[in-house]
A = this chain, B = another copy of it.
Amino acid sequence: MTQGTVRAAIGDSEFDRDTAVTRRAPGIYDTELSAGWTIINAVNGGYLLAVLGRALADALPHPDPFTVSAHYLTASQPGPAVVRTDVVRTGRTLSTGQASLFQQDEQGREVERIRVLASYGDLDALPDDVRTSAEPPPIPPVEECFGPQDAPGQSPVQGSTAITERLWLKLDPATLGWALGAPSGKGEMRSWFGLADGRDADPLSLLLAVDALPPTAFELGLSGWVPTVELSVHVRCRPAPGPLRVAIATRNLAGGFLEEDAEVWDSADRLVAQSRQLARTALGR
């Protein structure tokens, strides 16, 4: 996202190609999960949501995800996958669908990776009325924030960090203690967010944005994979062009499980997405 570089367009970008689905039959879509979106030992959960979201946008009469609820079943791996969709209900303003992503295991058996319920609508058809008390997160200017590319040594993350090359992340130094071996103890993570090729945000890429930052658990002093059990996201309006800001907060780590509340703001200072996930730590296994 450096000024002056050629920016990829919505519909013709790495993200669009890597989330593309091909309709084989009504309600059945083939896709190829890209190794470019892996983190630690699995394909990123937000990227998976975007793949499922794209299949549902084709299957349902409404274009935009308003709310998507996902339950993560098994860890996805790069490679071929099949998405099956089911139209649950179609209404005038909203339609609801279900989708599952499947891959084959080493024995050739089909394994379900993730199942979602989603309600779609048309963001452009909503009235302009806004009554909000929400305030944008306190993230310093980009030039005072740091991305994975700014790190002096080896990444503190054990395993794949491929996804960081697809993203443009500039993290708030106040939430970067974990990367320097000094986690703050607060369950907060804040970052500027974009796609590395400069593609602007759209409702589908918001599904990625809510689950693409380092886990808040790192700032709570935990390390290792923090797999998502469930994630629900609401897309509240179409994002304006330009960088996003993402703020994630965890208040309650208990019994080995924690929630992550994310909000995404666009360059016009509008709250464009909200999500909450339940994740588990090594303690919760």
Contact = CB atoms under 8 A, between A and B. Distances in A.
Interface string A118-135: 110001001111111110
Contacts of A280: 93
Contacts of A71: 67, 69, 88, 96, 117-119
- Looking at chain A's contact residues, is the secondary structure mostly helix, strand, loop, or mixed? strand
A54 interface: no
Contact of A129 (B67, B131, B276, B283): B283
Q: How many copies does the complex hold?
A: 2
A69 B66 contact: no
A130 B254 contact: yes
A17 interface: no
In this complex, the interface size class of chain A, counting residues with CB under 8 Å from chain B, is 35 or more
A44 interface: no
B93 A284 contact: yes
A132 B255 contact: no
Interface of A: 66-67, 69-71, 73-74, 88-89, 93-94, 96, 98, 112, 115-119, 123, 126-134, 186-187, 220, 229-230, 232, 234, 236-237, 251-257, 259, 270-271, 274, 276, 278, 280, 283-285
13 contacts: A66-B278, A67-B71, A67-B230, A73-B88, A93-B284, A94-B229, A126-B254, A129-B283, A130-B253, A132-B252, A230-B232, A234-B276, A236-B257
